[in-house]
């Protein structure tokens, strides 16, 4: 039961991260809401792969 809970937790984190990106892009009226690269809103620098993984990127800040 615990491994399923962990899997659901990480799936939920990934899904919420994706939906947050979509909402931000819709709010900013970006044309490409699904396929654009993620970037820092302050410095406009493109994020690296490990920075896109929910929770892990927060842990390694």
pLDDT by residue for the chain (61 residues), tens only, comes to 679 998 898 889 889 888 988 888 888 887 777 777 888 878 989 988 878 777 777 777 6
- Taking residue 25's Cβ as centre, other Cβ atoms within 10 Å add up to 16
Q: What is the pLDDT of residue 61?
A: 65
Domain boundaries, the chain: 2-59
Report d(CA 11, CA 47) in Å as an integer.
21
Contact (Cβ atoms closer than 8 angstroms) between residue 33 and residue 25: yes
Q: What is the pLDDT of residue 4?
A: 92
Task: Work out the widest C-alpha separation in the chain, in whole angstroms.
Answer: 43
pTM of the entire structure? Answer: 0.65
């Amino acid at each position: 039961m615990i491994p399923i809970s962990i899997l659901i937790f990480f799936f939920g984190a990934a899904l919420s991260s994706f939906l947050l990106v979509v909402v931000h892009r819709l709010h900013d009226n970006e044309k490409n809401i699904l396929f654009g690269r993620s970037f820092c809103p302050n410095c406009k620098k493109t994020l690296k792969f490990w920075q896109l993984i929910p929770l892990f990127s927060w842990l390694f800040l």
